[in-house]
Amino acid sequence: MNPFKQKREFLSALKELNTTEQLIICPECGQKLTKDQLSKNLYVCTCGHHYNVSAKYRLKTVLDPKSFREICGGLKGDNPLGFPEYEEKLTQQRKKTGLKEAVITGTGKIEGTKTVICVMDNRFMMGSMGMAVGEKITRACEYATKNKLPLIIFCASGGARMQEGILSLFQMAKTSAAVARHGEEGLLYISVLTHPTTGGVTASFASLGDIILAEPKALIGFAGPRVIEQTIGQSLPEGFQRSEYLMDHGFVDAIVPRSAMREKLGLLLKLHDRRGRK
């Protein structure tokens, strides 16, 4: 069959299923599950496929109930370089996601231990890092340094935001410097890599965690596999740039399924909690 026709038919069948029976087809195993079934399982298929989730959902599943306090909730980006149609795009993304920017930052408790937490949301312009995202992460990190708190960042990003050009690339140095100052105070930073973490985010704060965790099978890399293959003129090994491959090669410290994330973070925070120690 013509592959384009096949794809069209698949997409229309998928659309129909999603609208009439609200079934979601797993891209990994092809199983059809209802939204309700998935939500009961933290949006993880029975085959282990982790669906992307929103930043708000992530905060709800990781933090102790009612412990979240947002930092810089009103901070949002504009169009510093006058990039065509960027403002319209931002307005549309804000309407679609209910977010002002691609990251939510704040403080909260995990199993009783207070922490600063940043969660990126890749529904908002692919979770790309522009000036506002970089500024929010930097301020959250500085708040953690000042208040001697640990820092957790859930990364999910397509990289630097191209509409902000060089200004978005500045954020790599700025966030990295903030993370370094936090580390100089002997404070813990845990980076959690979720699908996908790429580009300028991988090349800055995502890779700087004292402890780096990843969700199963997340795509983690700088440039995409096609670009690398074309550049080096070689085919890449199986599973390249996936969490499991990066764990085998020492880049990731542990792969943590979503169902175990809260408990794992709670334990790590407790083990590194300096309060009450002389």
Residue 29 makes contact with Zn ion by CB under 5 A: yes
Q: How far is the CB of 26 from Zn ion (least distance, A)?
A: 3
Member of 24, 45, 213, 255 binding Zn ion (CB under 5 A): 45
Query: Is 197 in contact with 156 (CB distance < 8 Å)?
Result: yes
Question: Measured from the CB atom, is 47 or 180 closer to Zn ion?
Answer: 47
Q: Is 42 in the site for Zn ion (CB under 5 A)?
A: no
Stretch that binds Zn ion, among 47-55, 75-83, 219-227, 239-247 (CB under 5 A): 47-55
User: Quick one: which segment of 38-46, 121-129, 198-206, 270-278 binds Zn ion (CB under 5 A)?
Assistant: 38-46
Instruction: Give yes or no for residue 11 binding Zn ion (CB under 5 A).
Output: no
DSSP 125: G
- Residue 47 touching Zn ion (CB under 5 A): yes
Do the beta carbons of residue 45 and residue 31 sit within 8 Å? yes
Q: Which residues contact 78 (CB under 8 A, 6 or more apart)?
A: 87, 90
Verify binding: residue 28, Zn ion, rule CB under 5 A: yes
- What minimum distance in Å lies between the beta carbon of 32 and Zn ion? 10
Q: How far apart are CA 107 and CA 174, in angstroms?
A: 21
The answer to whether 34 contacts Zn ion (rule: CB under 5 A) is no
The radius of gyration of the chain's CA atoms, rounded to the nearest angstrom, is 19
Of the candidates 14, 23, 25, 49, which one interacts with Zn ion according to CB under 5 A?
49
HSE on the CB side for 73, CA within 13 Å?
A: 7
Please give the Cα distance from 60 to 225 (Å, whole number).
33
By the rule CB under 5 A, 123 interacts with Zn ion: no
Question: Greatest CA span in the chain, whole angstroms?
Answer: 71
Q: CA 248, 103, 175, 244: dihedral to nearest 10 degrees?
A: 0
Binding segment toward Zn ion, per CB under 5 A, in 46-54, 82-90, 109-117, 158-166: 46-54
Nearer to Zn ion, 47 or 254 (CB): 47
State the nearest-atom distance from the C-beta of 29 to Zn ion, in Å: 3
The CA distance from 194 to 211, in Å, is: 14
Interaction of residue 41 with Zn ion, rule CB under 5 A = no
Pick between residue 41 and residue 235 the one whose CB is nearest to Zn ion. 41
Q: How far is the CB of 47 from Zn ion (least distance, A)?
A: 3
CB of 44 to Zn ion, least distance (A): 9
Q: Nearest to residue 265, comparing CAs of 51, 111, 55? A: 111
Residue 179's closest CA among 149, 150, 205?
205
- Of 2-10, 20-28, 174-182, 245-253: span binding Zn ion (CB under 5 A): 20-28
Q: Compute the distance between CA of residue 150 and CA of residue 127 in angstroms, rounded to an integer.
A: 23
User: How far apart, in whole angstroms, are the C-alpha atoms of residue 153 and residue 206?
Assistant: 8
The contact set with Zn ion (CB under 5 A) reads 26, 28-29, 31, 45, 47, 49
